A and B are shown apart, each in its own frame.
Chain A
Amino acid sequence: MNLKTTLIVAALALLGGCAATPPPCDGPTTRNLDAAVMHVKDKLATGCTAQFDSYFDTLLTTAEGNPRPENKRVFSEFLVWTADSGLLSQRQAKDYYNRFFNVKFMTLASDYNTCSHTCPRRDRVLLDMERELSDKERGLLRVSRDDAGYYRADRLYKEVELVLEATCTACAAGR
C-alpha cells in the first residue's frame, strides 16, 4: 500500500468516525421543555458556552410548542442556574429574562435624565423597544400564554412613545 492510499484510507476512517458520534455541541431535539433544558445545561457545563444564544432560541421554540404560564419559571430557573454557574453575569441573566418575560423594557435602562440622554437618541430607543416588544410577544404571549402581560407591554410602548415625543419637544424648546 503506497502513501496516497494510506492517506485516503485514514481520511475515510476519520469521516466514518465523525458520522458515528454526535457533534459535541448539538442542540436539544426533544419537544419536552424540561428535558431540553437538561440537555442544554449539560452541554453548557461541558464547554459549549459559545452556543448559548442558539440554545436559548431553541428552548424558546421548544416552549412555544407547549405554551403555559409555568414556562416562565422554567426559564427563570435556567437563567438563575447560568448566573450561578458563572456562564452569564447576574446582569446578563436579568437582561435575558426581562427582555422576554417582563412587561418593562430593558431598552429603557438608563442612569441619566430623559432630556440629556434619551431624547438625543429617541429614534434609536424606540426602534430597540419595538424589537424588544417582538421578543416579549414571543416570551409572554407565545411561550407563557401571558396575554395580559403582552398587551400591557404593547400599551406601555405606545405610552412611552407619546410621553417621549412630548417631553423631547419640551426639552428642545427649553434649549
Chain B
Amino acid sequence: MHATQARIPWHRALALAALLVPGLASANTNPTIRLFPTTVVEDLRQTSAVAQEMETGLQEVIGRLDQQQQLYLDSKCEGAEGDPGCQRLSKQIGATYLEMLEIMEARLPDMEHTVNNTRLSLEKRLRSEIGTKMTSWTLQETLVGKQKTNAAAPSPSLRGRSGMRLSERFRQYYQLVASSNTSADQSLAVLASDIYLDMDETSVLIARTREEIARATLIEQLNQSFGAITPEMMEVVGGVKSILFGDAPEDIVIAGPPPGSVEKPYRSPLEQ
C-alpha cells in the first residue's frame, strides 16, 4: 500500500524534474547553456554562509579594536609611547589584533575551500559551454538574445563589487543564480563570467592573506614584548574591514538612451 502511494508516475516525475532542474524545462524549445547546475548553485550558497560566519566571528573583535584605537588616540598616546598607561593600551590593542589574526587563520581555510570549489566548477562550465561549444559569433548571438527578448529585465552589473560585504556579495550571486531561468541564458553567461573572475581574484587574495597572517602574527608577537603599534597593523585592520564589511555600495549608473520617440526599427535584408 505504502509502496504504491510512494510511486510517482513517470510523466509527473519528469514534470517535477523540469521544474527543479534549470535548463530542462525549455530544453526542447531553445538550446540552453548549462552554466549553473545545482552543484554550482550549492557551492555559491555555501560560500555565502562561510563568508557570513567569518564576518560574524570578526565583527566583535574588530569593533573592540576600533574602540581601543580610539581610546589610544583620545588619550594622546601618539608620541607618548613611554607612558605606562599608553604602553598598556598598546599591548591590549596588540592582543586584540592577534585575536583577529587567529580568527582569520581559523576561518580562511574553509573560505578558501568553498571559493575554490565554486571557481573550479564555474571554470569547467565556462570552458565546456562557452569555450568549446560556442564560436565567438554564437556567443554574441546568445548575448544579443537577451537584449531583444528581455530588454527590461535588470542585467547583472559588470565587475567592481568591492565596497560590499563579502557574504552579501555571494548571497546576491546565489539569489541571482537561484532565481534565474533558462530564458535568460545571455545574462547567465555574463553572470557566470563575473562570478568566476571574482572568485579567481578572491582565491588569490585568500592565499596571499593566509601567507601574510603567519608573518603578521610573528611580528605582532614580537611587538607584544615592546608594546608598539605599527602603522602596518593599522593598515591590515583597515584592509580586513574593507574586504569583509565593505563601504557603502555605490549605485552603478548606466547611461540610458536619450528620450525620444520609439520608432519601429528598419530591418535590412543584409542584416545578420
Contact of A158 among B158, B192, B262 (CB under 8 A): B158
New contact pairs (18) apart from A104-B272, A106-B272, CB-CB < 8 Å: A69-B266, A79-B270, A103-B147, A113-B133, A113-B135, A114-B132, A119-B131, A125-B136, A147-B257, A148-B262, A156-B143, A162-B159, A162-B193, A167-B130, A169-B197, A169-B200, A170-B124, A174-B131
Which residues of B lie under 8 Å from residue A159 when comparing CB positions? 143, 158, 189-190
Tell me which of A94, A104, A116, A163 contacts B130 (CB under 8 A). A163
CB distance from A93 to the nearest CB of B (A): 6
Among A118, A148, A169, contact of B196 (Cβ-Cβ < 8 Å): A169
Least distance between A85 CB and chain B CB atoms (Å): 15
Residue among B133, B200, B268 making CB contact with A97, cutoff 8 Å: B268
Q: B123's contact among A98, A102, A114, A174, by CB below 8 Å, is which?
A: A174
Q: Is B263 an interface residue (CB 8 A)?
A: yes
Interface contact A76-B270, CB-CB below 8 Å? yes
Give the distance to chain A from B186, nearest Cβ to Cβ, in Å: 8
Nearest 7 pairs of A and B residues by beta carbon? A166-B193, A76-B268, A115-B131, A97-B270, A170-B126, A147-B257, A108-B136
B270 in contact with A170 (CB, 8 Å): no
Does B134 lie at the interface of the complex (its beta carbon under 8 Å from any beta carbon of A)?
A: yes
A162 to B140, Cβ gap below 8 A? no
With both chains docked as a complex, state the minimum distance between the C-beta of B192 and any C-beta of chain A, in angstroms: 7
- Tell whether A70 pairs with B135 under 8 Å between CB atoms, given A148-B257, A158-B158, A165-B197: no
Interface residue from A73, A110, A115 paired with B132 (Cβ < 8 Å): A115
Task: For the complex formed, measure the closest distance between the CB of A61 and the CB atoms of chain B, giving whole angstroms.
Answer: 20
Instruction: Give Cα distance in the complex from A165 to B158, angstroms.
Output: 12
B28 → A minimal CB distance (Å): 24
Query: How many whole Å from A111's CB to the nearest CB in chain B?
Result: 6
Residue B137 contacts which of A102, A109, A158 (CB distance < 8 angstroms)?
A: A109
Known contacts A118-B136, A162-B194; decide if A170 and B127 are in contact (CB<8 Å): yes
Dominant SS among interface residues on chain B:
helix
Interface of chain A, main secondary structure:
helix
How far is A174 from B127 in the complex, measured between Cα atoms in Å? 8
Which residues of A sit under 8 angstroms from B265, Cβ to Cβ?
A: 69, 146, 149
Contact between chains at B134 and A108 (CB < 8 Å) = no
| CB pair A114 B135 closer than 8 Å | yes
In the complex, whether B9 has a CB less than 8 A from a CB of chain A is no
Interface residues, chain A, CB within 8 Å of chain B?
Answer: 69-70, 72-73, 76, 79-80, 93-94, 97-98, 101-106, 108-119, 125, 145-149, 151-152, 155-156, 158-160, 162-171, 173-174
B148–chain A nearest beta-carbon distance, Å: 9
| Contact residues on B (Cβ < 8 Å of other chain), bracket | 35 or more
Is B258 a contact of A147 with CB atoms below 8 Å?
yes
Give the CA-CA distance A112 to B137 in the complex, in Å.
9
Q: How far is the CB of A48 from chain B (nearest CB, A)?
A: 22
**With a CB–CB cut-off of 8 A, which chain A residues contact B134?**
113-114
Cross-chain contact A113 with B131 (CB below 8 angstroms): yes
Cβ of B235 within 8 Å of any chain A Cβ, yes or no, is: no
**CA of A76 to CA of B266 in the docked complex: distance in angstroms?**
10
- Jot down 20 A-B pairs with beta carbons below 8 A, ordered by A: A69-B263, A76-B268, A93-B270, A94-B272, A108-B139, A113-B134, A114-B135, A119-B131, A151-B256, A152-B144, A156-B140, A156-B147, A159-B190, A160-B139, A165-B193, A166-B193, A169-B197, A170-B124, A170-B131, A173-B127
B252 to chain A, nearest CB (A): 12
The listed residue (A97, A151, A156, A171) touching B127 by CB distance below 8 A is A171
* B260 close to A (CB within 8 Å): yes
- Cα–Cα distance between A148 and B132 once the two chains are bound (Å): 32
* A112 touching B144 in the complex, CB below 8 Å, given contacts A163-B130, A170-B127: no
Asked if residues B266 and A162 are in contact (CB atoms below 8 Å), the reply is no
Q: Which of B140, B194, B269 contacts A160 (CB 8 A)?
A: B140
Expressed in whole angstroms, the minimum distance between the Cβ of B254 and any Cβ of chain A is: 8
Task: Determine if B255 is an interface residue (Cβ-Cβ < 8 Å).
Answer: yes
Contacts of B140 on A, CB cut-off 8 Å?
A: 104-105, 108, 156, 160
